Structure 1
């Protein structure tokens, strides 16, 4: 009994997956500047031409690994969007996102990679803003993105006391109310402006 032949589409998907795994590993280990397309291809056991064909450039490949692919599209009520974003944050603080951290480190030293990552993050932000609507939806989703990025950097790059060793459940529990408040657009009034 022979094995079932693999379609070209499936072969392509498998090759792309191998390239993404190799890129995450090498960018995390060596940073953006010292990681080459040839090294990624060798790690993935793929032709360097395929890396360029599938991802176009090193910058675009770098951006692709910077943004975690969402299992679910962002949509629904602000409550549902908040919970999806909290789940994504929970995943990031459960297991160290080595590829994403390499991206963050490299963004500060390589402007082209930062441009591609920014575009990928903006696309995700706009998707969330479209889901929650409102005139300041872009600001609210940007604040959620900043909280998420700050939490990941504080936990893994800075090793902030408390945050470094906190359970993912505790982190998301403490951020649940702020995420919901921001996505609902319910700002707290300035205490100095409250009537005495």
Structure 2
């Protein structure tokens, strides 16, 4: 039986949840114009109303937003909010309003932007903090995915037992949010809202 031809290019559509970062951008935009509700935030995202409400409750418990009014409705009063703080990056909060530790990818991306060039051991060292230590294996894997996506360029040919020195391309220093390596082995740029690099599709084996 003849094998089905494999196209050179495959169109891949990825549905990426807006998440807390997306909610925060919407909230900041709405708050710049005046008071807002959970419903008005949910109208601008593809997430469920409950997911938006959960994040807003975290913001309220952290004191980052506050209720300024309660509007009557058929079921229960609708809370109207205003921000008390306006950080650029979305606050990462637990359900009780306490702040989460930064992720390893956040720390590695911040270190890359500060260093400009680094080997994976250097990146692991620079990105480690008292709260979160970065394993060199994790740094090597993150660098590998960013290099495949076109963020990094090797400064020299790879040699055995000598880590490659990588440079962050100025054109790919897209912003403070770390490019996320997804479970599907894609790199998602949170700053530009797009997949960066060529996704590698593998045929499933029976």
Give the structure with higher Rg (CA): 2
Short-chain TM bin: under 0.3
**TM-score, normalisation: structure 2:** 0.24
Q: Specify which structure has the higher proportion of helix.
A: 1
| Higher RCO (C-alpha 8 Å, min separation 6) | 1
**TM-score, normalisation: structure 1:** 0.25
